[in-house]
Structures are given as structure tokens and as C-alpha cells.
Amino acid sequence: MTSTIAKVLINVHIRLRPMLVNVTDLSHIVSILFYNALTVADDMKNKLILLTILTLVTAPLCLVSSAQAQQEKVFAIAIHGGAGTINKSNMTKKKRKAYETVLKKARDRGYVMLAAGETSQAAVIAAIQILEESPLFNAGKGAVYTFDGGHELDASIMNGKTLNAGAVSGVKTVKSPIALAEKVMEKSVHVMLSGEGAEVFAKQQGLALVDNRYFNTEARYKSLLRAKKQLIKKEQELKDFQAAHQTLGNEYKYGTVGAVALDMSGTLTAGTSTGGMTAKRFGRIGDAPIIGAGTYANNESCAVSATGHGEYFIRYHVAADICARMQYQGISLEKAADVVINDVLVAAGGSGGIIAIDAAGNITMPFNSSGMYRASKSSNGEEFVGIFRDD
Ligand code: ASP
């Protein structure tokens, strides 16, 4: 009888042991200790007692560990295509569909990559590149015009595991600024490169270069003409270009695309790419390429990509502030993001929004403007695409 029970228990143990190898160190250690004890136990009764204890101790550990292993498989992505004065009355069904189609395409591209076990960094880059290639969004192909009638693009990326980051500002001929930001992160000893130097580096890295006119679109050009008309009138009135620029409506200030993602290994990544502000001058750089302002990622807290009035996002280091509040105040991602976007920024007069994801895969996408193009998808089955507050 005793030997039959012993055989059963040995069998149970043999079945459990392979699970221990890849599971927690603790259960592995317990297992090794009991194995050693078994070799010194001299009679069957002692062996039986030890095997019983071993089974009772390791079985719950296995259950806990396999639950943890399941949890580690959570992955998710969120993207945005800019915030600002998105007028519901101007949004025809056709226009809405066009935006949502690209948003879904970018989101799903990233999601499929994450589901296949690819990194959050690769998913963020792929999603942003789809948005950069669309003329609908103020990044890459759809970048706004500068005051002088050209395009100057900014982008950045940050990896939450390594805290490595790369950024580029004021580039004019790089087809995919987010790809260049990634090269800066991975192939240079710097975090941010700007202007001509960044373009020389892009060429060295073999990235696609285009004529600045590649970024021309009729809609953005018309927008520049409208902005300049207003600016010239206001400048005459106020006798100051900066004061005149202040009066420009939000539709000239926003656009930008971004993505945040969590991969199966638990790594967070955030990336942002933009053409900046319509009619910007004097080499103006916004928050999008500034690590901590427009982009931030840290596996200890969250990953954030911002869109909005860049000057405020720089001054209030919005992306890093959300992550820091979460980490140091022990509050949820949703709460931290809500306070920064709807209290701090609103009180300061800065409008815009962010997308953010934490290490558990929670996603939040608050904005204090009338709308924000956004979409998300998570391995827990939730997915979303929307533009307005009530979507
Ligand atoms: N934040 C960007 C900038 O200030 C603009 C935007 O989000 O559309 O350059």
C-alpha cells in the first residue's frame, strides 16, 4: 500500500517537475531541496512523507506561476493621429471613414506584430509609418507647411526597458522621421540629432531620402495660405509676429501621430512623429522630439505619446510627468493622465491630449480639445477607434 501511494506521488511529482523548470525560481529551489532530502531519507516512510510535502508545496506554486506566465502574455497598442479643433459639423461620413480606415490599419498592423511575438518597438515604428505615409495626418506625407512654404519634421522614440531614446528635429528630406529617430537610438551615441546633420546621418544609415516637395499636399497648402493671411493681418494690428502667432486657431497647431505599445515580454515603447505647427518659423521645434515632453516610456510606469500645443507640453514635461505621478504617487495610469491633461494643462491654457499604456496593458487616451484621432487594441479583446469625446 505504502509503495503504491509512493509510486503515485512520484508520478505526480514527475509530471509537475518539468513545469517547474521554466516557471518560478522559488518552486525550482523548493524542488531541488526536497530532491536532496529524498536522497538522504533512508526508509520508504520518510521518502513518502517528503514526497507528500513536496507535492503539496509545489502544486500551488505551479498554479500561481502558470497564472503569472499567462499574465506576461498581455500585449496591447494605442495610436493617435493628433488632437485639436476637430469640428463635428465638418466631419462628413466619408471623411470620418477615411480617417478611421487609416487609424485601424495602423493599429492592426502593430497589433498583429505584437500577437506574433514581435517587440513593442517594432510595432510602434510600423504603426507610425502607416500614419506617416497617409496625407491625412500631420506627419510624414501630410506634414504641415512652415511659414516659408517648406516642411520641417520632428520625431522621437523611447524604449521603456532600456530607457534608450532617439529623436530628430527639423529634418526636411527624410521620408520616415520615426525610422531616423530609431536609428539615432540604436546606431548613434546621441539622443537627438537636428537639421542637416541628422540628414547626413540618415544617408549614412541608408534611409530613404526624398525631395522636400514629397511632403506637399493641397489641403495643407491651403491651410498655410489661410494661416498666413491671418498672421499678416494680426501682425499689422499687434506689431509683433509672436503675438500674432498666438492668435492662430487650434486647427493650425495640431496634427501629429504617435503610438504606444506593450509587448509579450513586458516592454513598453512610445513614439511620436510630426510636421509641427502650420506657419512655424525660425526653426521652431515642438514637443514631439523632446523626450519627456511629447514621448516617454519606462517599464516601471508607462509609455506616453502626446499631441497638442507643443510649447505647453514642453514646459509641463507632460509625458514624463504622467509616468512619474504613476510611479511615485502609486496612482493608476488613468488617474495620472487625467490630472495632467484635464487639470494641470487646462489650468495652464495648454490644449491637446495623449495616449498611454502601462505595464499591465491598461490604456488611457484623454484629451482636453474637442477631439483626438485615436485607436487601440488589446489582447484582452478590447478594441476602440474614435475621434470625438462621445465616441
Ligand atoms: N505637438 C505638436 C507640436 O507642437 C503639434 C501636434 O501635436 O499636432 O509640434
Is 65 close to ligand 1, i.e. is its CB under 6 Å away?
A: no
Instruction: Output the CA angle 233-239-242, nearest 5 degrees.
Output: 85
Mean of all residue pLDDT scores within the chain: 88
Ligand 1 binding pocket includes 145 (Cβ within 6 Å): no
Could you tell me the pTM of the whole model?
0.82
pLDDT band at 72 (very low <50, low <70, confident <90, very high): low
Residues 50 and 135 both lie in one domain: no
Q: What is the pLDDT of residue 234?
A: 86
More confident residue, 65 or 238: 238
228: which residues sit within 8 A by CB, 6+ positions away?
A: 147, 279
Q: Closest residue (by CA) to atom 6 of ligand 1?
A: 254
**Amino acid 26: pLDDT:** 53
pLDDT at 315: 98
CATH number at residue 350: 3.60.20.30
CA pair distance 363, 128, nearest whole angstrom: 18
Task: Specify whether 103 is located in the same domain as 177.
Answer: yes
Residues 236 and 371 in one domain: yes
* Residue-wise burial string across 178-200, b where 16 or more C-beta atoms lie within 10 A, e elsewhere: bbbbbbbbeeeeebbbbeeebbe
**Reading across the β-sheet that carries 268-274, which strands appear in turn?**
192-194, 165-171, 153-159, 268-274, 257-262, 76-84, 371-378, 383-388
First to last CA, the chain: 67
- Answer yes or no: do 27 and 77 share one domain: no
- For residue 77, give every residue at least 6 positions away whose Cβ sits within 8 Å of its Cβ, in sequence order, or none: 107, 110, 111, 114, 120, 123, 124, 127, 259, 260, 261, 262, 357, 376, 377, 378
CA angle 291, 213, 174 (to 5 degrees): 35
Instruction: Please give the share of the chain, as a percent, with pLDDT higher than 90.
Output: 72
Between the CA of 252 and the centroid of ligand 1 the distance, in Å, is 10
Residues 254 and 265 in one domain: yes
pLDDT digits (tens, 9 = 90+) for 325-346: 999 999 999 999 999 999 999 9
Using the 3D structure, point to which of 71, 105, 132 is the last residue of a domain: 71
Q: Is the beta carbon of 81 within 6 A of some atom in ligand 1? A: no
Cα–Cα distance measured from residue 344 to residue 349, given in angstroms and rounded to the nearest whole number: 9
Q: Is the CB of residue 146 below 6 angstroms from any atom belonging to ligand 1?
A: no
Residue 273 CB less than 6 A away from ligand 1:
no
- What is the chain's percent helix, strand, coil content, to nearest 5? 50, 20, 30
Single out the residue in 25, 43, 71 at which a domain terminates: 71
Domain match, 16 and 66 both: yes
Please indicate, yes or no, whether residues 194 and 47 belong to a single structural domain of this protein. Answer: no
**Helix 44-72 × helix 2-21 angle, to 10°:** 30
Quickly list DSSP for 265-297.
TS-EEEEEEE--STTB-TT---STTSBTTTEEE
Average pLDDT over residues 95-111: 97
Taking the centre of ligand 1 as the mean of its atom positions, its distance from the CA of residue 138, in whole angstroms, is: 9
* 127 and 64 belong to one structural domain: no
Domain total of the chain: 2
pLDDT at 107 over 70: yes
Ligand 1 atom nearest the C-alpha of 294 is: 1
The grid cell for 68 is 503569472
* 163 and 207 part of one domain: yes
One domain, residues 183 and 285: yes
Place of cell 518539468: 18
Instruction: Tell whether 34 and 83 lie within a shared domain.
Output: no
d(CA 349, CA 371): 16
**Residue 250 confidence class, pLDDT cut points 50, 70, 90:** low
pLDDT digits (tens, 9 = 90+) for 79-101: 999 997 677 878 899 999 999 99
* pLDDT range class, residue 45, cuts 50, 70, 90: confident
Active-site residue set? 256
Which atom of ligand 1 is closest in space to residue 310's alpha carbon? Answer: 4
How many angstroms does the Cα of residue 289 sit away from the middle of ligand 1? 10
Provide the residue range defining the domain that includes 6: 2-71
Distance separating alpha carbons of residues 62 and 95, to the nearest angstrom = 52
CB-CB contact of 178 with 157 (8 Å) = yes
